[in-house]
Amino acid sequence: MSKSEKSNQEIFPSPQAGRVRGLDYLKQLEAESIHIFREVAAQFERPALLFSGGKDSITLVHLARKAFAPGKIPFPLVHIDTGHNFPEALEFRDWLANEVGATLIVRKVEDTIKQKSLTEPKGKFPSRNWLQTYTLLDTIEEFRFDCCIGGARRDEEKARAKERIFSVRDEFGQWNPKLQRPELWNIYNGRIHKGENVRVFPISNWTELDIWNFIRKEKVDLPSIYFAHERKVIEHEGQLVAISEFVQPDASDVVLTKKVRYRTVGDMTCTAAVESNASTLDEVINEIISTRISERGETRIDDKVTEAAMEDRKKNGYF
Amino acid sequence: MDLLRFITAGSVDDGKSTLIGRLLYDSKNILIDQLEALEKSTKNRTDGSVDLALLTDGLRAEREQGITIDVAYRYFTTPKRKFIIADAPGHVQYTRNMITGASNASLIIILIDARQGVVEQTRRHSIIASLLQIPHVVVAVNKMDLVEYSQDIYNNIVIEYAEVAKQLGLQDVTYIPISALDGDNIVDRSEKITWYDGKPLLEFLEEVELDHDINLTDARFQVQFVIRPQTEELHDYRGYAGKVISGIYKKGDKVTVLPQGISTTISKLEVNGKEVEEAFAPQPLVIQLSEDIDISRGDTIVKADNLPRVSNELEVLLCWMDDKPLIAGNKYLLQHNSRLVRAVVRNVEYKLDVNSLQQQPVEGNVKLNEVVKATVKTASPLVYDPYTILSVNGSAILVDETSNSTVAAVLLQQ
């Protein structure tokens, strides 16, 4: 029998062959992410993993660890610290970097504001979210990173739904949606010119619920603020915002003590809490399944400003 | 629960975005705030209805022009399956985006406007489906509400399309009459299309058999990255990390490393840092071999009794995706999974008309969206299978070394 005849026969097995082996959808997503991580390590000279302390970047670290086991993660974790972080998230960040034996690089938005005399955002919720871009671009330049791995997911937002897994940015960090490279099969082209940079999103195809199911299945540790706890909050346009050194109540605000958890972990100035009694992963996941509000809509104060908010930020070099 | 990746294709006004919106909406995968944003942007419409298409139109330029610029990915889950939709634009100039979206899909929904029947775009999309060997095809005859749910019109379209499918060798084609706008035969069976006794679309998507789409016979593995921890405990460790492209690997398997042609044995297999007895596609894997061989990224490890082709003279189909034309004789980089080699496009034999599949002579250079048969010579041999036999090991891209753009999809031939 010739080679081609043999192959044809084997590729189209008889219906009786039945199911031998198959991967659960979560394992398929994991396989895809690990493949992407290994491509990054092989294709780039100086990659870095952008770490925020949130569940998505924690998942990234967990996947990276699997991709390179028994070796260590072959790139540093980089945190762009706005100075408005939850202390629990910072503590967790330091613990995790130590736990996986990764180098942790922290660069502060505070320092960029001083060096570049940037104008601090004002108002009751002074978000430094937008200013992170400056610090990020400086950090990329300082360490000559040619690739930054991020935890963005396509289900989060309309602009992200259109971004490639390997997203080439020019030397200003800008995304050009009309000039994206075709991304074919599982072949990733990370070639760039000097000064350019690639943002790579290994969990592009995961949804919020996929992340939570993975965290549960793999028993991934999370910062405590993801679980219900008591906190002093004010209500702002239907969202609960924690009182902190960065957000102070006005005379008109009613300060309430509520049992809350966070669904996303960003800055204290732009992340809202949700009322909750969920103190275990199972309870958190059950709540998420039964809520009919999207993650960004529920917990991000800054995305509501304009419908194209994320698209604008990405075009300007944002994650 | 498993995973189905599918693509939707249709011409500009076939109601593709409405269909996706309807799938998300009726399967309760649209959340309150997204709906609010939707209602806000439809407030100015005169008929007061919610425009489901707006759920999928992402970028500002698209909303302004009412078109889709790029492939967008959507996600939804039912109790039976997780779905990833590649939403590819319909208009002619963005064929490359459709190929991008289709390259990872195991099913394609081709939308046909019941009033228009099979049009040029339908043929084009079907040809791409056939070129890329998408295993399952669903022909959704949409806007049945606008033809009074006529069975005759539907039947004529089925007959017309069956000719196209036959010509292209499409194997598994399913026809469903729908109205995306009203939700007929999307999630629930239509009460108006009483003569149709097949499954509604979502039920079909939930139940279509996917198990045989992955080849577990021909073992193919390419090295992505060499893991060498060089720590005290692991100072001799040398593991080849990669993905099982197809087939199954077992500890103790006699293997051949290509293109070197060296035979050895698998001494250890690890998945996610844990030792395993066997691994199968598409698992991520680390292979250790019993002998110390010089192996690097892009090398292939296969079973000694099932060898792929090894050659540096390649017959290929190229789908050209760059604004700059292909000039025969030009040098490019060819990336086949993780293997990157220099390549020269030597001879362009003919152009494939993507509307008729006829071979035509090539006049001048090869332009954006054209598909051509060509010969390519690579600087070092490629270890591959023909796309039609094992697509996961028969696909590659061409990269322009000066712009770094991905300029072509490459389908390796016999």
DSSP per position, A222-280: --GGGS-EEEEEEEETTEEEE--SS----TTPPPEEEEEEESS---TTTB-EEE----S
| Domain B2-213: homologous superfamily in CATH | P-loop containing nucleotide triphosphate hydrolases (3.40.50.300)
d(CA A40, CA A57): 16
Domain ranges of chain B: 2-213, 220-303, 309-412
Q: Which stretches does DSSP call E strand in B247-370?
A: 248-250, 254-258, 262-271, 274-276, 278-280, 284-289, 300-303, 309-320, 331-336, 339-352, 359-360
Position B336: which residue type? Answer: H
d(CA B65, CA B136): 32
The reported pLDDT for the residue numbered A118 is 76
CB contact residues (below 8 A), chain B span 171-210, against chain A: none
A189 has pLDDT over 90: yes
d(CA B271, CA B285): 5
Question: A296: nearest CA in chain B?
Answer: B33
Residues in A closer than 8 angstroms to B297, CB to CB, are 42
The reported pLDDT for the residue numbered A1 is 35
**Best mutation target, B128, B216, B336, B401, to test chain A (most A CBs within 10 A):** B216
CB contact residues (below 8 A), chain A span 238-277, against chain B: none
Angle at B94 between CA B90 and CA B96, to 5 degrees: 115
Write out the residue limits of the CATH 3.40.50.620 domain(s) in chain A: 25-209+308-315
Question: Which is higher by pLDDT, A52 or B12?
Answer: A52
The reported pLDDT for the residue numbered A155 is 84
The reported pLDDT for the residue numbered A7 is 37
CB B58 within 8 A of CB A175: no
Nearest CA-CA partner of A120 in A86, A146, A84, A149 = A84
Q: What is the second-level CATH architecture of the domain A25-209+308-315? A: 3-Layer(aba) Sandwich (3.40)
Topology, domain B309-412: Elongation Factor Tu (Ef-tu); domain 3 (2.40.30)
Give the mean model confidence (pLDDT) for residues A257-263: 86
Region label for B103, one of left (φ > 0), alpha (ψ between -120 and 50) or beta (otherwise): alpha
A168 has pLDDT over 50: yes
d(CA B75, CA A207): 7
Tokens of B409: 């999809």
Confirm whether B220-303 and B309-412 share one CATH topology. Answer: yes
* Coil, helix or strand at residue A281: helix
- Is domain B220-303 annotated with CATH 2.40.30.10? yes
DSSP 8-state class, residue B217: S
d(CA B162, CA B156): 10
Confidence band of A301 (pLDDT split at 50, 70, 90): low
Is residue B213 less than 8 Å (CB to CB) from chain A?
Answer: no
d(CA A135, CA A166): 22
d(CA B321, CA B194): 44
CA distance A212 to chain B (A): 14
d(CA A242, CA A232): 6
Position B82: which residue type? Answer: K
d(CA B240, CA A11): 26
The reported pLDDT for the residue numbered B56 is 60
Buried b (16+ CB within 10 A) or exposed e, B190-226: beebeebeebbbbbbbbebebebebbbbbbbbbbbbb
3-state secondary structure A193-236: CCCCEEEECCCCCCCHHHHHHHHHHHCCCCCHHHCCEEEEEEEE
**φ/ψ of residue B155, rounded to 5:** -60, -40
Could A25 and B333 be called an inter-chain contact, meaning their C-beta atoms sit closer than 8 Å? no
Residues 6+ apart with CB under 8 A from A14: none
Residues in A closer than 8 angstroms to B336, CB to CB, are 187
Residues in A closer than 8 angstroms to B236, CB to CB, are none
Question: A314: nearest CA in chain B?
Answer: B59
Could B283 and A31 be called an inter-chain contact, meaning their C-beta atoms sit closer than 8 Å? yes
A285 has pLDDT over 90: no
Model ipTM value: 0.92
d(CA B146, CA B235): 71
DSSP 8-state class, residue A92: H
Task: Write out chain B's pLDDT in tens, 414 residues.
Answer: 889 999 998 876 777 878 888 888 777 666 655 666 666 665 554 544 556 666 665 566 666 665 566 788 888 888 889 999 988 776 655 677 888 889 999 999 999 999 999 998 888 889 889 999 999 999 999 999 999 999 999 999 999 999 999 989 898 999 999 999 888 999 889 999 999 999 999 999 999 998 778 899 999 999 999 999 888 888 889 999 999 999 999 999 999 999 999 999 999 999 999 999 999 999 999 999 999 899 999 999 999 999 999 999 999 999 999 999 998 889 999 999 999 999 999 999 999 887 777 899 988 889 988 899 999 999 999 999 999 999 999 999 999 999 999 999 999 998
Among candidates B71, B84, B273 on the partner chain, residue whose Cβ is nearest the Cβ of A69: B273
Is residue A316 less than 8 Å (CB to CB) from chain B?
Answer: no
Pure H helices in B44-171 = 60-65, 95-102, 120-131, 151-168
